[in-house]
Structure 1
Amino acid sequence: MNVDFQRRVDRIAGVFICRILSLFSIMRKDTPVHTKPQKIMVILLSEMGSLVLARPMFDHIKKKYPNASIYVLLFEQNKEVLEILKVIPQENIFTVSNSSIKKLLGDSIHVLKKMRKIDIDTVLDCELFSRVGSIYSFLSGARIRVGFHPYTQEGLFRGDFINRPVLYNPYQHISQQFITLAEAIESGNVPTVKRQVPIDYLKIQPMEVSRDEIGGMFRRFKIDFPNVAGKKIVLIYPGGGLLPIRAWPLSYYCMIAEDLLQNGFAVGIIGLKSDNKIASAILSHCRNANCIDLTGYTKTVRELMLLFHFASLLITNDGGPGHFASMTPVSTIAFYGPETPTLYGALDNKSVNFYANLSCSPCLTAYNHRNSPCDGNNVCLKSIHPEAVLKKSYEILNRHLGTSTTY
């Protein structure tokens, strides 16, 4: 299902279902319990990057409720990221497909039966105002239902059956807000949580990987691209994914790739196989054998992260790759505009965020279901000039000069 169709279904069917379930909750006089959770279901369906940003929340839950079992519900295409994070056992991962309405409904019925069978008592719905998460929350049978709530804000109705409503805060990093959801489980305040979430809670752990596994990827890469062997590799991710408005101009990527190549670096263009037209445009501009097309080269997220282990720098649009890189040794330059690093910046200390902070930015928010009003002229990203990016790139790359990569 495409994003616009999902938004329409959520807006039309989601509101109606949430109102019906809210009435049902009132009629049965549904009251929350005040006990320690034993079986916690985390709902985080749609964003790979958000899964990485949720890592501190999982660590916090384990510390606060060491005897509780933790489960996660997510879209099946995001399962691999959760497996890389290794925050819960494999058997505690529940998935649904969003490839079609029919598949989603069938998987949802199956998953809800499983949730009721294992007797989930607490649900943390980490979705930002999409209604499907709150619907799962109610139908799971859990007595404690935590989720974001608008309180006195207009719109954004997700049902009155969320009995641990957390006030969404657009001025606080999303990782802090995920921890706030965990803190709301036993809270009775209004709003539910009135405490500071220290920045030092926001730590990201490196991926677990062996030297042999990295070495195998490195040897494969050298065989497939022998012309760049021995060169420092800069990876660039020029694709916009499902939200093309987040993409830094392609002409700017062409300029920085050309400059890096002229200064002796190799440039690898990463992305999905569907990004090959973008890669072709950069290759045609640069006309240099040391500029290589890696779109579709890595078949899994894990392979992409292995590639990061022997790259010198990643230059990327806002999205999953920057967050995956935070779990690897590679330094990252990321571009924000339609979204803000205040909310979604990577959690490591080797990422550099470029953000112009225009009056209209960010325009992709929870309040508009990430449906930007922008006419396509993303001045917020066009205002980030290649000269500034190159200057910062060479500062980072110069710190790596003299180091060699061998496996």
Structure 2
Amino acid sequence: MTAKSIHPLYFIDRWIGSCLCFALTIVYRLLSIFNKPSEKKTIKNILIIQLSEMGSIILSYPALVQLNQKYKDANIYLLTFKQQSSLIELLPLTNMKINQLLISVQSIFGFFISVFRLIFHLWKYPFDMVIDFERFSRFSAAISGLSFAPVRVGFSRYTDEGLYRGDFFTHSVWYNNYQHISVNFVSMIQSLDFPSKSRPMLQAPVKKNSDIPVYTTSVCQISSIRQKIIQNCPSAEKAKLWVLFNVGSGEPLPIRSWPMDYFQTLAEMILSKYSAVIILVGQMDAQENAHYLCNRVEKGRCWDMTGNLELNELMDLFGCSDILITPDSGMAHLASMTHIRSIVLFGPETPLRYSPLGDNHKSMFADYSCSPCFSPHNHCQTICTDAKCLKSITPEHVFSEFHKMVKD
């Protein structure tokens, strides 16, 4: 999703979403007057709403495991944006009956068409439970309300500042800004053990689990990606270290990208000390940055693979590489599903909330007073145009952590 496509959705979410949430709050309050509380029924069909962020989908995995354990015979549907579909197929969900419902965001027209189809589906095939994992979205809250499911779970601001998302969830869980987001997701599942309308939720310790999604591959797939890399990067065959740089532009949040001259300095430091090859990865929008680096780093030891790998090939590349260096992004969370060690650079966000799962990474964070400046309270937007917090993480600092990883 690009910044160009996401800003109209912010507008729709803010104005149409707010009105829908307010209207649905009135509807549910009127219904509560005339309708008697329904008896508990067997949960057969569950809808999970997890729309836009690749990293959040991976970070919700521990919660999905707990949900599947709690409702083993239920059919689980995951509502997400269409471009996330291939990611869902990578998650180890074989023991869960998870189906996908997709929303297109390629155009405003396509968005509204897919939304109308979704609402028709919600009413034709009713859900017994809807769990809204979104924090920044009024739209997802409205979808929860329009489902008219007997059980509706979602984040609530309670007395905090933040987005107005109505008041029609049966289980309103406080979004705890001081906990990792994966713990917040798990707290939503555990809220189902408590009576509906208990306020606030969750008034209990969260039973954390250590479930981490693991990407499974094969010797054949690893061999295939090795051959592809060696064909494109001949010096990789004899290199002792394969080092990946995520040089993406940071879209739709470019303030999260690390400066290219920092990547250049780091590459020169690594190549001067180690028998290594630098492989540049990222989507098509990273190609300009990749060309910049390839033209400035020692010829034959820095190779551009941006826009040249399918998602499953990228995962296999993680499996046969040594270290990934990346700003805070979805790629850091994809890497956490493999054995590759990673150095993740945080600036406008904090690892307190969004560090990858597991212990195979090092999160670097400058701890500036103004950071993190992204939060559910500002719709993941910031007025900052110069991320000094990220720039303060120098190539020398990163190389020091890199050296420790190599020694280990």
What range describes the TM-score normalised by the shorter chain of this pair?
over 0.9
Distance 1:32 1:178, change over 3 A: farther
Residue 147 in 1 paired to residue 158 in 2? Answer: no
Distance 1:33 1:168, change over 3 A: farther
Which residue, 175, 181, 187 being the options, matches 1:168? Answer: 175
Indicate the residue corresponding to 1:253 in structure 2. Answer: 263
Residue 353 in 1 paired to residue 363 in 2? Answer: yes
Which residue, 254, 272, 278 being the options, matches 2:289? Answer: 278
SS at match of 2:152: strand
Higher mean displacement: 55-64 or 149-158: 149-158
Which residue, 66, 89, 93 being the options, matches 1:60? Answer: 66
Matches within 5 A, 1:200-219: 201-219=209-227
Give the counterpart letter for 1:15 in structure 2: S
Per-residue deviation, residues 69-104 of structure 1 (Å, max 9, x unmatched): 211000010011111103266871111101222111
Per-residue deviation, residues 195-218 of structure 1 (Å, max 9, x unmatched): 22244x143131121221121111
Distance 1:282 1:33, change over 3 A: farther
Indicate the residue corresponding to 1:297 in structure 2. Answer: 308
SS at match of 2:11: helix
TM-score normalised over the length of structure 2 = 0.93
Distance 1:32 1:161, change over 3 A: farther
Indicate the residue corresponding to 1:396 in structure 2. Answer: 405
Give the counterpart letter for 1:282 in structure 2: L
Give the Cα separation in 2 of the matches to 1:322 and 1:32: 44
Matches within 5 A, 1:69-84: 69-84=75-90
Higher mean displacement: 144-153 or 259-268: 259-268
Superposed displacement of residue 133, structure 1 = 0.6
SS at match of 2:303: strand
SS at match of 1:158: coil
Aligned-residue Cα RMSD (Å) equals 1.7
Which residue, 386, 389, 404 being the options, matches 1:377? Answer: 386
Indicate the residue corresponding to 1:268 in structure 2. Answer: 279
Residue 97 in 1 paired to residue 100 in 2? Answer: no
Contact 2:229-2:236 at 8 Å conserved across structures: no
SS at match of 1:2: helix
Give the Cα separation in 1 of the matches to 2:99 and 2:344: 33
Indicate the residue corresponding to 1:405 in structure 2. Answer: none
Contact 1:144-1:164 at 8 Å conserved across structures: yes
Give the Cα separation in 1 of the matches to 2:295 and 2:97: 44
Give the Cα separation in 2 of the matches to 1:196 and 1:208: 33
Indicate the residue corresponding to 2:53 in structure 1. Answer: 47
TM-score normalised over the length of structure 1 = 0.93
Residue 128 in 1 paired to residue 138 in 2? Answer: no
Superposed displacement of residue 115, structure 1 = 3.0
Higher mean displacement: 27-36 or 74-83: 27-36
Give the counterpart letter for 1:66 in structure 2: K
Give the gaps of 5 or more residues in structure 1. 400-407
Higher mean displacement: 217-226 or 364-373: 217-226
Give the Cα separation in 1 of the matches to 2:84 and 2:228: 26
Superposed displacement of residue 141, structure 1 = 2.7
Superposed displacement of residue 248, structure 1 = 1.7
Per-residue deviation, residues 369-400 of structure 1 (Å, max 9, x unmatched): 100121x111111111211210110221233x
Distance 1:87 1:287, change over 3 A: same
User: Aligned residue pairs: how many?
Assistant: 396
Give the Cα separation in 2 of the matches to 1:128 and 1:33: 30
Superposed displacement of residue 126, structure 1 = 0.5
Higher mean displacement: 226-235 or 348-357: 226-235
Give the counterpart letter for 2:117 in structure 1: H
Indicate the residue corresponding to 2:192 in structure 1. Answer: 185
Give the counterpart letter for 1:25 in structure 2: Y
